[in-house]
Amino acid sequence: MNVACVEYVSSNEMLYDLIRTFVFNICLG
C-alpha cells in the first residue's frame, strides 16, 4: 500500500467519489 498516495486521495475532497475510489484502488494495486 502506498501510504502517501492513500493519504493524498483521502485528504483531497475535490475528487469525486468514483474518481477517488478508482485512484484508491490503483494505490492499493
- What is the pLDDT tens value at each position of the chain, 29 positions in all? 678 877 877 777 766 778 878 877 887 77
The per-residue pLDDT for 1 is: 60
pTM of the model: 0.43
How many domains, the chain? Answer: 1
- Of the CA atoms within 13 Å of residue 16, those in its CB half-sphere come to 2
The per-residue pLDDT for 16 is: 75
Range of the domain at 18: 1-29
Length of the chain measured in residues: 29
